[in-house]
Amino acid sequence: MTKPLEPSAYTASELLAVMAARLMRDGQIVFAGIGIPLLAATLAQRQFAPHLTILFEGGTIGPFIVPGELPPSTNEQRCTRRANMVLPITDVLLLLQRGYVDVGFMGGAQIDRFGNLNSSFIGDPARPKIRLPGTGGGNDISSLTQMIVAMKHEKRRFVADVDFITSPGYLHGGMSRAQSGLSHGGMWRVVTDLAIMGFDETTREMKVLALHAGVSRADVLANTGFALRFDPDLETTPPPRPDELAVLRHLDPERLYTA
């Protein structure tokens, strides 16, 4: 048996993409953002999920991305290569509301203990310290389907309460999401360069399900801005394999998203 790769053999972004890809299942319909989500979904397709379909917000069903020609957003012609169908933006988003989509998959700027994402304002919205680009389809995707988020694990990104809920997770925990009218979906997994997190079935608080190889509980806590719990059956993820990294490096040879 070959020796597992050391962390120095891959970047944090590559680790994120590999770990996220392993959460996909064959046959799923995945609404993917640009960057790590797209790379992870494509990696899953190539490794073990040939019947997985990618949807892009720009209005594309089932494209295959040309290696080295990654799209700059979900709305350019590069997103349509070898697609099954192109349709208006409103209609591709309505597939979420109609219930065709298994997983929404995006990056995150700031997340809280209930899995709410903020991509709108840092600070008070009336006098923001930083105005961020906003929801795009993030609010729709996270309101209407089960979510995976891939992001760097940093204290300033993992906060007790986000400044502004752009994309709803479990809102204020417990039943608050369902009570607000969001009857389906919710945050399912948060994948970082340190660990994989899920959410308690009752309290809806974030908890660590698995640590990546070489990462300690203390590492995770030191990079989290709230008291994060650990699952009693805490696991360790197998490190990225050379064949997984080779696919990623083939897809993104210029390291636009995996540097």
Beta pairing class for 158-159 and 110-112: parallel
77 contributes a contact to other proteins by CB under 8 A: yes
x-or-dash string of contact with other proteins, 100-129, rule CB under 8 A: ----------------x---x----x-xxx
137 contributes a contact to other proteins by CB under 8 A: yes
140 contributes a contact to other proteins by CB under 8 A: yes
x-or-dash string of contact with other proteins, 9-48, rule CB under 8 A: -------------------------xx-------------
| Residue located via tokens 């906060």 | 159
Token representation of residue 235:
């696991």
203 contributes a contact to other proteins by CB under 8 A: no
Beta pairing class for 186-191 and 146-150: parallel
Contacts of 142 (CB under 8 A, 6+ apart): 104, 106, 117, 167, 168, 169, 185, 186, 187
How many whole angstroms separate alpha carbon 212 and alpha carbon 29? Answer: 27
Contact 74, 54 (CB under 8 A): no
| DSSP track, 61-100 | ES--PPTT---SSTTSGGGGTT-SEE--HHHHHHHHHHT-
Q: Which of 93, 129, 138, 140 is nearest to 111 (CA)?
A: 138
How many whole angstroms separate alpha carbon 247 and alpha carbon 234? Answer: 29
Among 27, 50, 67, 88, binds other proteins (CB under 8 A): 88
Q: Catalytic: which of 57, 76, 154, 201?
A: 57
x-or-dash string of contact with other proteins, 150-169, rule CB under 8 A: --------------xxxxx-
Nearest residue (CB) to other proteins, 81 versus 155: 81
253 contributes a contact to other proteins by CB under 8 A: no
Among 5, 12, 89, 213, binds other proteins (CB under 8 A): 89
Q: Is 6 a catalytic residue?
A: no
How many whole angstroms separate alpha carbon 244 and alpha carbon 231? Answer: 27
Nearest residue (CB) to other proteins, 116 versus 258: 116
Nearest residue (CB) to other proteins, 103 versus 208: 103
Nearest residue (CB) to other proteins, 37 versus 240: 37
Q: Which residues are catalytic?
A: 57
Applying CB under 8 A, the residues found at the interface with other proteins are: 34-35, 57-60, 72-73, 75-81, 86-90, 93-94, 96-97, 116, 120, 125, 127-140, 143-144, 164-168, 171, 176-177, 180-183, 256
